[in-house]
Structure 1
């Protein structure tokens, strides 16, 4: 390749051989210099355009992306102002329109939309009016035709209605002059938006000039790259939304299976995030140096939503077992019926015995003795029935003397269709003898197995790198720092802070929940006392519990949760 210097030397030599003078040499040198400067400028612009494209493709936040597109386009063309529209369908008319997404104006010192925090209140621009394309509006025209429009001065331009810019200028004192409007066409050829630039300025100055024709192709290229970046960001966002929807769907499925579990998942997720956010706000103490990134917060949130997914395989009668005898129904009713049969059998036996006594000439004292004996036996049966019913309800710890009495009741028999039948079956005695709660050891193992099922199910999902710890966090919410947890018996060294947060939120919610079938809601003070005992026993993180209590995390979350539920109720009522 011939360099600029070589080219200049060859031209100079040629000029001298042809008898040229120094004036021509200077002219040629000046031309070559200008060509070189132009080529270098174009190469720089193309490289800058390429760099912008790379930067845009790396941005995943849609609001920041849209904002950056306008920033870069304005910087590229030295535009004083810029607007980015995206195409959307009006839900009321089912017709396309242009939505204002970003508005920037340096002279007016305004930035609206995107991450600015200043919403755009302007109504969308319809692409169709009276059944015809809205070609009076320049942005609508570009969106419909795909043509790029470059206007030196909108005040003298023909073919478009610039009433809006003129009114804006009258109100603000601004002067809209040059305008460049380009379609944003993605890789599928679909126009997804419009980029509008206003008032190009001279390099290093404030004077407004027309947009140079040399920028038109570059801006068209930038707009297309931006459209592809937007489409990609939307696709990623759509996939994230789909993933979120699947998670919510799973939670809803568990909710349908058990309202108790569904409420639990929602509250554990919310409480976990409140704990993590509180840690991020902490500037002193044990967690002053701990700061979760947005990706880490999202990873914890996903793990919290999925931590009980394994319960989808747990039988409903185990999850919702409100009494010790409950399966698909509460078997205490069978026992009550059985005791009624026993009672009536005793009455019938006593009547039959009294009839035999009468037939044998017994006196009234003998009959009275039978009645008294019957009354004692009936009172005993009633007492046994009431005791069994009390034992069926999970409450206080069942002591040895209560279990001994249950065994004594179960040892009693009565005749049913001529067959000697125990007051209580072996399975009924086993369930009634549960010392704490409502679950047998086998049922508790079924419940505990939900964690293993959760790990197994989540391990089958191809989580991306940013969610690579979801399985670990979700699967460790029943582990304990002292190694006494399940399913892996991990100790403190193995448990990440996220797992500890999820564990604390899970236990706190379970203790304070008002929608458990097997227990009433526990007062917060009593729940915190139990959490304190667990911290001392190295079951949960003592430092985390201290922060949790000192910063009143539970109270602050419950205020938000109740407000949310009230809003949902109000919205449902309004429908």
Structure 2
């Protein structure tokens, strides 16, 4: 550096005084020198110019300016300017010119212009000699110092200095030998075309260290690009100059070369103009050539050591990450290693939550504990920017950075930050790895960035391996679950138990808070909660959702699965998730389908981990829904098979029952009961066809509270039953409320819509009747085609039995008419017994009904009582009509009529069951009767009933040998004989008969009135 030498430094004061003294003696002139600051070096200014203004103003005057004093004398100003450097000025005088108009008193030298110039030249020559001499001494001293410094530098560089210390030493030497104000040593990054500041000296070293200089830009960039030294005496006039925080006017830079390879540039600066000379350039270049090889070797060694340390740190981190799973503390320890490796104050690891689209703090080191739950929305702040751009972000000065808007503590607390994205090979963003400098440390370098990228890749591999392992484990669990579900499906047909088992397996493998299965009701288009795990038990069977409503309703309507990572962000369902007693965050619902038919919906809500559902979860649930649909189909098939077996069994049972009976009422009642049960009907009617009126009329019904249903008559083609009869084929009405064929009878009102099936009863192409079944539509939905086929099958079988029973009933009526005629003929033989058989029959039937006997037993007693005296046909009329008392022989003859009657009727097949009753109707309860002397229960019940009726009618009828008793007298007589002649139980029923609904009209009086009795003919 060209050192600035002041005027007082170039001359010895004694020599200067001696020169000024000689000059005065020779010229008579005073000479007062000033330095460049306007300070007098020797002498007094008053000796030359009294009242002289501030001498610093001399720089404003031209060289060799004459200044006139107030008294008319002159003073000569001579500036001491040499080689572009102003050292000061010299005032010479006072003096007079020949033409001067001097007003003073003192004697002053008079001089011509040439004399003055000669005097000035001598003064100037003296000072130039002094300046050159001083400069030469300074140069020799500086060269000596440089040689000394270079020698010292050579010795030091040959020692084992670390690379950074060597850089620091080199910078200090460069400053020292050039006399620079500040400077910087810049190194080239390997294979990069820019320079980074490695060492800086000056007022703002940290600010300077942030500067990165591309090749060709600025003074140092030009030197790096051209590999030549450059000295710029005035940077203000240099267009290549790039402004720095330091205030400088001169700059010199030399390249650091190893062979032809540039390793860096050393630059020195000065706050003065023209600060550096060629010698300075040579000295700095010499220093650079001396240190470059050593510097390169030290750099390589330092890089190797650094790489070794980094590899060691990376190995430790990699070893830590080799564990299958790490807890939060484990990741925090890894971040401590990151801080040690990169010499930073803090580090953080944030993972990206794709569902919430935000970064979540996973682990950190050197940060406040309050950041444990920090979340950063996508695109917000520095970290959010990295999560959207997927690029490395380096901020060397956060406080001055305005490129990205800050949003949280992490964006403010540090001075510098480096944020590296963690990104998988498929470009899937995983999270961020960040380091922070909290104080005025060295800026974050490229090597720091390379190392953090390496650690980031290791972390990415770790998380990817963990994800793949978890995916594999989850898929294995899923396959295991599907196997278990399939095994459960194959082992049971109990749907309710199976559903609970499946839901437990789903909850276990998917680790969800709750799961549920909703069954589809196609009739009402509703989903009902049939099974659930993790929900309140009182919700099962109570919750119903309309198709199209809410998430499950949407799935049912569209037959598509729904995967919602965040329900609140889906406009379709955001208003529905709060209806139940739990908070729904993430939802997965899939339809349960079988042969393109919807069976229900399977739902899972909220993973316990807080994570959202993803595609693998959906695939698992779809697989399980397929298993469930198969289970439902199997159970349905089994149920259908069981039902078909039951139906066939019932059909067989019905066939046996109706074909084993020829009683029409029994056949009709059994048939309608069986039909109602098989078809699960609420109501049923069996209508028979009247060939005469051509109408259908209700013969029997079930489930109707209104008895007026028995008054219903329909013409062929009228209503559903009439159309079924007319068309002679079964008909089905799914919904009576929507069918034009359904005719609502005015006297039979329905409050709800019904489903109806009607089947004609056809026998040999002849219409027998119609069977109708109906039920409330909402109960089990409409009747199925299978129900209709079953009803047709039952009807075809029943029609034969009904027709046979009707034919038998008609034949039986013919027989009974014959019997009635026979009984009338018997009664006609004796005027006193006229109507006796009829009255005995009325009383016997009434007693039997009052005792609650079955209809078949009542019919048998009816026939037996009507024919109880048929044996009298074999008794002589002389005995029967004898007006007086009978002899013992005659009475024995009369006593044979029960035996004779039984013998007569025994040859008639359908009356064989009455023979024993007729044979023993004169037996006594105490065993003293005839013909067999039976007693108590040995006597047929019918015989015991007829015995009471026959005796009562006998004692209340008029006889030639006695008068009749009144009903009350006869009743008392019957009571008296209870337990001896009569069965007490029969007597008890007989006593109740007069007030019973079964009492004959003629029996309601006090005495027998033949005319009244004749008005009520016997009903067979």
Q: Give the counterpart of 2:751 among 158, 161, 174.
A: 174
1:460 corresponds in structure 2 to 907
1:451 corresponds in structure 2 to 898
CA apart distance, 1:68 = 5.9
CA apart distance, 1:99 = 0.8
1:250-269 to structure 2, matched below 5 A, reads: 250-269=822-841
Task: Tell me how far apart the structure 1 counterparts of residues 820 and 868 of structure 2 sit (CA, whole Å).
Answer: 13
Q: Which moved more, 1:300-309 or 1:523-532?
A: 523-532
Residue 1012 (structure 2) pairs with residue 566 (structure 1): yes
Secondary structure, counterpart of 1:111 in structure 2? coil
Q: Residues 35 and 294 from structure 1, CA distance in 2 versus in 1: closer, same or farther, beyond 3 angstroms?
A: same
- Structure 2 unmatched ranges of 5 or more: 1-485, 492-618
1:141 corresponds in structure 2 to 723
The structure showing larger relative contact order (alpha-carbon pairs under 8 Å, at least 6 residues apart) is 1
Please say if residues 139 and 194 of structure 1, whose CA atoms lie closer than 8 Å, have aligned partners that are also in contact. yes
CA apart distance, 1:179 = 3.7
1:154-553 to structure 2, matched below 5 A, reads: 160=741, 162=742, 164-165=743-744, 168=746, 172=749, 174=751, 176=753, 178-186=755-763, 188-198=764-774, 201=777, 205-206=778-779, 209-235=781-807, 237-238=809-810, 241-275=813-847, 280=851, 292-322=853-883, 394=884, 437=885, 439=886, 443-462=890-909, 468=913, 470-480=914-924, 485-490=929-934, 495-496=939-940, 498-514=942-958, 516-517=959-960, 519-523=962-966, 540-541=981-982, 543=984, 547=988
Please say if residues 77 and 200 of structure 1, whose CA atoms lie closer than 8 Å, have aligned partners that are also in contact. no
Deviation track 1:100-159 (CA, whole Å, cap 9, x = no partner) reads 335566xxxx435xxxxx2436441122xxxxxx4x64422221221222344556656x
Task: Tell me how far apart the structure 1 counterparts of residues 926 and 675 of structure 2 sit (CA, whole Å).
Answer: 58
Q: Give the counterpart of 2:705 among 100, 111, 115.
A: 111
CA apart distance, 1:311 = 1.1
Please say if residues 847 and 990 of structure 2, whose CA atoms lie closer than 8 Å, have aligned partners that are also in contact. no
CA apart distance, 1:308 = 0.8
Q: Residues 75 and 569 from structure 1, CA distance in 2 versus in 1: closer, same or farther, beyond 3 angstroms?
A: closer
1:70-109 to structure 2, matched below 5 A, reads: 73=675, 76-77=678-679, 79=681, 81-89=683-691, 94-102=692-700
2:645 corresponds in structure 1 to 47
CA apart distance, 1:310 = 0.7
> Aligned pairs, how many?
396
CA apart distance, 1:26 = 7.1
Deviation track 1:448-501 (CA, whole Å, cap 9, x = no partner) reads 33233113223334458xx74x33332223345676644445566854555444
CA apart distance, 1:559 = 2.6
Please say if residues 901 and 919 of structure 2, whose CA atoms lie closer than 8 Å, have aligned partners that are also in contact. yes
Secondary structure, counterpart of 2:905 in structure 1? helix
Deviation track 1:164-189 (CA, whole Å, cap 9, x = no partner) reads 42x759x9573546443322234x45
- Structure 1 unmatched ranges of 5 or more: 10-20, 113-117, 128-133, 281-290, 323-393, 395-436
Point out the structure with the larger strand share: 2
Please say if residues 268 and 509 of structure 1, whose CA atoms lie closer than 8 Å, have aligned partners that are also in contact. yes
1:328 corresponds in structure 2 to none
Task: Tell me how far apart the structure 2 counterparts of residues 497 and 156 of structure 1 sit (CA, whole Å).
Answer: 57
Q: Which moved more, 1:308-317 or 1:502-511?
A: 502-511
CA apart distance, 1:295 = 4.4
Task: Tell me how far apart the structure 2 counterparts of residues 563 and 73 of structure 1 sit (CA, whole Å).
Answer: 48
Task: Tell me how far apart the structure 1 counterparts of residues 990 and 712 of structure 2 sit (CA, whole Å).
Answer: 48
Q: Residues 495 and 175 from structure 1, CA distance in 2 versus in 1: closer, same or farther, beyond 3 angstroms?
A: closer
Task: Tell me how far apart the structure 2 counterparts of residues 98 and 219 of structure 1 sit (CA, whole Å).
Answer: 18
2:714 corresponds in structure 1 to 125
Task: Tell me how far apart the structure 1 counterparts of residues 936 and 925 of structure 2 sit (CA, whole Å).
Answer: 4
Point out the structure with the larger helix share: 1
CA apart distance, 1:33 = 4.5
Task: Tell me how far apart the structure 2 counterparts of residues 80 and 483 of structure 1 sit (CA, whole Å).
Answer: 53
Structure whose alpha-carbon radius of gyration is higher: 2
Please say if residues 548 and 554 of structure 1, whose CA atoms lie closer than 8 Å, have aligned partners that are also in contact. no
Q: Residues 179 and 297 from structure 1, CA distance in 2 versus in 1: closer, same or farther, beyond 3 angstroms?
A: closer
Task: Tell me how far apart the structure 2 counterparts of residues 243 and 70 of structure 1 sit (CA, whole Å).
Answer: 28
Please say if residues 320 and 517 of structure 1, whose CA atoms lie closer than 8 Å, have aligned partners that are also in contact. no
Q: Residues 441 and 80 from structure 1, CA distance in 2 versus in 1: closer, same or farther, beyond 3 angstroms?
A: closer
Task: Tell me how far apart the structure 2 counterparts of residues 548 and 571 of structure 1 sit (CA, whole Å).
Answer: 23
Q: Residues 225 and 269 from structure 1, CA distance in 2 versus in 1: closer, same or farther, beyond 3 angstroms?
A: same
Please say if residues 275 and 553 of structure 1, whose CA atoms lie closer than 8 Å, have aligned partners that are also in contact. no
Deviation track 1:367-410 (CA, whole Å, cap 9, x = no partner) reads xxxxxxxxxxxxxxxxxxxxxxxxxxx4xxxxxxxxxxxxxxxx
Deviation track 1:28-68 (CA, whole Å, cap 9, x = no partner) reads 86676465344323322222222433454436675576466
CA apart distance, 1:244 = 3.9
Task: Tell me how far apart the structure 2 counterparts of residues 198 and 492 of structure 1 sit (CA, whole Å).
Answer: 51
Secondary structure, counterpart of 1:251 in structure 2? helix
Deviation track 1:521-552 (CA, whole Å, cap 9, x = no partner) reads 3456776787799789x6x2485797589769
CA apart distance, 1:235 = 5.0
